[in-house]
Structure 1
Amino acid sequence: MQATRRQLGKLINRDQVESSHASVVIREYEDIDRLLARLVDDSRSLRDSWVHLGISSLNTSTELLAMYRPYIDDSPSPEPTNRPPERIPELQMSQASALEVVYHELKADIVNEVTMFDAGVINPASKARELIAGFRKTIKKREAKRVDFEKSQEKVTKIQKKTSALTPKEEVLLTRAQQDLDHAKEELSIMDEYLETTLSKVVGATMQLVIPLVSSLASTQIRLLGMTYTALHNYCQENDFPSPAPDMDEVLADWTTAFKPVQRQFEAISFISTGRGRLAALDLGDDTPPRPTLGARASTTALARKDSTPPPPSGLREGPHTLAPTDFTAAARLGSAAIHSLDAGSPPRHATTLISTCVLCLSD
């Protein structure tokens, strides 16, 4: 019951702002605790982002290298071809291989460096929060004493406001209420004095700890940025890449010029134009209307024709991704055309888009 009354007193007096020195120290304590919690959360998020950046960059470079490697088909084909396989351009092959090596080393360096987030920021800040957490019980007890004091004060004031003479019973109630008020005031003063002398020192020491924590966070971030920039800048210098990179408009224009012809050739393959990739046609940001063979314009007649396609001969491999020999040969030729469509003297750009396009088109 007493706890319920105190909670009700907190709700009634929650708009009243204390002006005592103890209340100021308590607000500073709450601020420093929130600051430490924010520092821990942001450091963890930054650490995870750097690790994810290293892993995703390495995966992208690995897929780019796999795209430039020659494809060897070991499966038996009922239709032999006399066309020799196209040679992979050695320039692009060496550039892709060097990029994969750079990102592999960079990922290892990032994983080693992000441990400084734990050792220099996360662990010390978490330990500091644990050490100052014990004062929350003292602050909670002080809040209860403050509510009791305000209730006793309100009770005394209510009796004293009576205009008529007090009855003997009211005199006894006033005396008892005054005693309760003096006792509550004394207990509140003891709690305030303890917090003013002890908690203020803790808050000051914790504030001095925050400055080196933020410095450690900033220095780790700067080292990671410098490490990444140095690795990529050296790669660009060794492989004749522009550093810094040109404007994005220029990059997109070059990429569109090299990619559009290859896209049209891929869309001409029957198993690609009738597969699931037709529902996710690429949008390169130009004003060219979408081709009716792809995207949402695929007609129900084409879908019905796809479903009524007779099964392949028994000589071909079985499975959900069965391809005709002619389609496989066309895909191999287009893969070679995709590589040679890029200028032999220019580095491959936007490899992630090209990889995702090939995977999307060949998903069926």
Structure 2
Amino acid sequence: MQSVQTRFGKLVKKAPADDHNVAGLIKDYEAGDIAISKIINEAKSLQVAWHDMAFCQLGIAGAFYELYGPIDASITADGEEKEDVEEEERHIIHAATPRAILERSSGMHQAYSGLHEELRDEITTMETLLLRPATDAKDMIQPIKKTIKKREKTRIDFENAQAKVTKLQRKPGKSAKEETQLAKAQGELEVMSDAFETADSHLRETLPPLVQAVSSLIPPLLASVILIQNRLLGLCYTVIHEYCQEHGFPSPAPPMEDVVAEFEHAFAPVASEVECFSSVRKHMGAHRKTATDRPESGRTVSFQRMKAPLSRISSASSQRQPSPARSPEPPSEPSPASHRIPSHSATPSGLGVPTDFTTATVLRGQRSTSSLHSRQGDYFGQAAIAKKKPPPPPPGPKPKRQAEFVEALYDFQGQGEDDLSFRAGDRIRIIHKTDTDQDWWRGEVGGYQGSFPANYCGPVGSN
């Protein structure tokens, strides 16, 4: 909408003297046409967005209503009788949902159902207040485009005839045939001049009322957009505020940090109870979590689940202690080193001082532990090496801007010192150009630089 307001500002700031400039009138007409098109497209997008939001809100309210609704305790989720449920879940007491929660979920569903109906009626008013007037205005200003295209074609024919006459007039020592060609070209030029002047006169009479009508239509259309937006927002905030007041929720809502903290405090016990179900554990692929595995205060469940594999590894390694009852046979010729425990490893608690019968077992556990540490060291060492990437190569030279050329469609003889003269078929390298071909550009031909009319040229190969 900001771009629409910018274009509207350009329309209302147009001076009355610009009505005699046909090119300026055409630009104002095109700006108004673009503004109307933008209003139509943005209004359709706004209509679809509000409709989707209302439908999504109603779906969320319906999901909460079904979630907190009464559940038949005698039937499982798969439709099987209670007798077929596992022994563990058979002893679970199915408590009824508190009445306050049922009333809140039911009230939310009713509130959003009514809001959906009101929003749908209000969204429909966009057709009558916004889309239909804008579409009718666009349809009314479309026929003038054919007149503008016809005028543009007449202008090109007039300039071609003018260039042909100028070329024949400047040619010295004209023959009788060339004099005949000049007279014929002058006659064609007079016809083209009359046609061009007629087209300009028609546009001078037709375009100003259209531009004025478009510029006067845009403000009420923008006002309709603002009015509809305020109504839609007012309906939403009114329904939410009344629901919060009725069920004891703060309005306006507290900071998001407080909402998240309250949710985590209430969610942790529920997650603990649900994860005790064997069906849930089976899909999670993990053993039942103990009370120590639950998230601490202020921690989220996702973070605790990330820590669970590490805790299982550490517990498994702690249980992998050698049993004193199983001692391997001592070697036939034990070496002194076999009875010596490395100084960097601590003696496990509960084994006491190592003897000839326990040393081999301890050493075996130490070798497996040392190999584990060595593999971990290799892994982290390789990871550290992998992180050291070589420095990036120096950036290459920036690509040079490719030269742009146009081809001269007609001959042009410069009138001023800075004008660039050329003949039809010459390739002109563009040095500087504007956004329109109804202007003077700067180019180079044969080593000479200067300004030239852009409408005398076209794309390379178009001649």
- TM-score band by shorter chain is 0.5 to 0.7
Identity %: 31
Is 2:20–2:204's contact at 8 Å kept on the other side of the alignment? Answer: no
- Provide the residue aligned with 1:37 in structure 2: 37
- Provide the residue aligned with 2:163 in structure 1: 154
Deviation at 1:287, TM superposition (A): 5.4
* Bigger fraction of residues in helix: 1
Q: Distance in 2 between matches of 1:193 and 1:37?
A: 27
Q: Distance in 2 between matches of 1:57 and 1:242?
A: 19
Q: Distance in 1 between matches of 2:128 and 2:28?
A: 26
1:188-203 alignment runs, 5 A limit:
188-203=196-211
Structure 1 pair 285–150 and aligned structure 2 pair: CA distance change class (3 A): farther
Q: Distance in 1 between matches of 2:179 and 2:284?
A: 90
> Alpha-carbon deviations, 1:163-218, whole Å to 9, x = none?
x3222222222222222122111111111111111121112112212211111121
Deviates more, 1:264-273 or 1:112-121: 264-273
1:83-94 alignment runs, 5 A limit:
83-94=92-103
Q: TM-score, normalised by structure 1?
A: 0.68
> Alpha-carbon deviations, 1:6-64, whole Å to 9, x = none?
xxxxxxxxxxxxx9711211111111111111111111111111111111101101110
Gaps of 5+ in 2: 1-18, 287-298, 310-463
1:133 corresponds to which of 127, 142, 152 = 142
**Residue type matched to 1:249 in 2?**
E
Deviation at 1:284, TM superposition (A): 6.4
1:84-123 alignment runs, 5 A limit:
84-123=93-132
1:243-282 alignment runs, 5 A limit:
243-263=251-271, 265-267=273-275, 269=277, 271-272=279-280, 275=283
Is 2:268–2:301's contact at 8 Å kept on the other side of the alignment? Answer: no
> Alpha-carbon deviations, 1:288-308, whole Å to 9, x = none?
562667xxxxxxxxxxxxxxx
Q: What is the aligned-residue RMSD (CA, Å)?
A: 2.7
1:158-237 alignment runs, 5 A limit:
158-162=167-171, 164-237=172-245
Q: Distance in 2 between matches of 1:25 and 1:237?
A: 58
Q: Distance in 2 between matches of 1:266 and 1:238?
A: 31
Structure 1 pair 157–260 and aligned structure 2 pair: CA distance change class (3 A): farther
SS at match of 1:236: helix
Q: Distance in 1 between matches of 2:199 and 2:305?
A: 75
**Residue type matched to 2:127 in 1?**
D
* Bigger fraction of residues in strand: 2
> Alpha-carbon deviations, 1:277-330, whole Å to 9, x = none?
99xxxx96975562667xxxxxxxxxxxxxxxxxxxxxxxxxxxxxxxxxxxxx
- Provide the residue aligned with 1:69 in structure 2: 69
SS at match of 1:244: coil
SS at match of 1:78: helix
> Alpha-carbon deviations, 1:88-118, whole Å to 9, x = none?
1222221111111110000000011111110
**Residue type matched to 1:209 in 2?**
L
- Provide the residue aligned with 2:360 in structure 1: none
- Provide the residue aligned with 1:59 in structure 2: 59
Q: TM-score, normalised by structure 2?
A: 0.54
1:273-352 alignment runs, 5 A limit:
275=283, 288=304, 290=306
Structure 1 pair 288–171 and aligned structure 2 pair: CA distance change class (3 A): farther
Gaps of 5+ in 1: 1-18, 294-364
Is 2:65–2:105's contact at 8 Å kept on the other side of the alignment? Answer: yes
SS at match of 1:243: coil
Instruction: Provide the aligned length of Structure 1 versus Structure 2.
Output: 270
**Residue type matched to 1:77 in 2?**
K
